[in-house]
Amino acid sequence: MPLYESLRPMPELRVLVTAGASGIGACIARAFHEAGSRVHVCDIDRAALDRLVTDTPGITGSMADVSVAADVDQVFDDVRGCLGGLDVLINNAGIAGPTGPIESLDAGGWERTVSVNLNSQFFFARRAVPLLQQSENPVLISMSSVAGRLGYAFRTPYASTKWAIVGLTKSLATELGPQGIRVNAILPGVVEGERMDGVIASRAAALGIGIDQMREQYLQKISLRRMVSAEDVAAMALFLCSPAARNLSGQAISVDGNLEYL
Ligand code: NAD
């Protein structure tokens, strides 16, 4: 088989993408759909979910708050109905959390960030594994961040959860490897789009500087001097589900143009 053929994801994978109605998750969902996979997404935003499943016939969806175990159970009931099993879990959900000095942060913001970013990973992984054990090509991908390999001042709740996801990835790769289940984390850097616009605005306000100046500061941290796109992240997810990645597990893979510091 030519090398490039082995870079395509396995055909007809059954894929679940959490928080897949918009942003990076929707881009990943569409990429797998276009590659011939059967895709189910869940999301908390009804309007965004309706838009995605209407615009992309074939993709199915469930309403769910990923931080609520009962909602996650309902998603897996839907996955059984819509996909009949599961080959790939993409644990993508994550919120930015509060921005500010640690002494100014309240417990609610901390707890919500841990619930959505970390507890959800646990809820989805524990329900997915029995299905992945039945799959011929089982893959679990978790969305960490460059904030999962670097310290991130004023974003402590977010960075803490993203480092924890790397620990979860390493542990699950060790635990599930003997069953043939590959587990990896993707660490996106500065991804262009609405979410990053919001992050830059919050950080500019926290530091008392202008938004343009803040944006320029972000670019100066990136060796390639450009942001990455959601498509770059989706391409990595596709690659991780391809035959070429059959021996990749337990890795935390950055897609960030070499973000040098935060
Ligand atoms: P986003 O803010 O664009 O949100 C994507 C989706 O998450 C939305 O449809 C939203 O409704 C859904 N969502 C939010 N809370 C939810 C909940 N509790 N339950 C279910 N769905 C929920 O996010 P994004 O920028 O696409 O980021 C996706 C992942 O990538 C996150 O884990 C994020 O931390 C990570 N990441 C993003 C960037 C970036 O620059 N955008 C960089 C590094 C890592």
The answer to whether residues 255 and 237 touch, using CB atoms and an 8 Å cutoff, is no
- Residues having CB closer than 6 A to ligand 1 are 19, 21-25, 43-45, 48, 64-67, 92-95, 116, 143, 145, 188, 190-191, 193, 195-196
b (16+ CB within 10 A) / e for 128-154: bbebbeebebbbbbbbbbbbbbbebeb
CA of 214 to the centre of ligand 1 (A): 21
> SS3 for 52?
helix
The conformational region for residue 261 under phi > 0 = left, psi -120 to 50 = alpha, else beta, is: beta
Asked whether residue 1 carries a pLDDT value surpassing 70, the answer given is: no
Q: In what order do the strands lie in the sheet with 60-63?
A: 60-63, 38-43, 14-18, 88-91, 139-143, 182-188, 252-255
What does the pLDDT average to over 235-252? 96
Stated pTM of the model: 0.95
- 97-122, pLDDT tens digit by residue? 999 999 999 999 999 999 999 999 99
Residue range 11-191+229-255 in CATH 3.30.390.30: no
- 56-102, pLDDT tens digit by residue? 999 999 999 999 999 999 999 999 999 999 999 999 999 999 999 99
Whole-angstrom Cα distance, residue 17 to residue 230? 14
Binning pLDDT at 50, 70 and 90, where does residue 30 land? very high
Determine the atom of ligand 1 nearest the C-alpha atom of 45.
11
- Amino acid occupying residue 129: V
Q: What is the mean pLDDT of the chain?
A: 95
pLDDT (0 to 100) of residue 196: 87
Measured at the CA of 260, the angle between CA 259 and CA 261, to 5 degrees, comes to: 100
Whole-angstrom Cα distance, residue 238 to residue 28? 8
pLDDT (0 to 100) of residue 209: 95
- Residue to probe by mutation, ligand 1, list 41, 195, 233, most atoms within 8 Å of CB: 195
- Residue to probe by mutation, ligand 1, list 44, 192, 228, most atoms within 8 Å of CB: 44
CA of 115 to the centre of ligand 1 (A): 13
The answer to whether residues 63 and 46 touch, using CB atoms and an 8 Å cutoff, is yes
- 7-24, pLDDT tens digit by residue? 777 779 999 999 999 999
What Cα–Cα distance (Å) separates residue 46 from each residue in 28, 89, 116, 143, 211? 19, 21, 17, 22, 31
pLDDT (0 to 100) of residue 70: 98
- 134-174, pLDDT tens digit by residue? 999 999 999 999 999 999 999 999 999 999 999 999 999 99
**Residues annotated as catalytic (active site), given as ranges:** 158
Locate the domains of the chain by residue range: 11-191+229-255
What Cα–Cα distance (Å) separates residue 195 from each residue in 7, 21, 46, 52, 125? 29, 14, 18, 18, 25
Measured at the CA of 76, the angle between CA 35 and CA 53, to 5 degrees, comes to: 45
Instruction: Give the DSSP H/E element, type plus range, for residue 17.
Output: strand 14-18
Binning pLDDT at 50, 70 and 90, where does residue 4 land? low
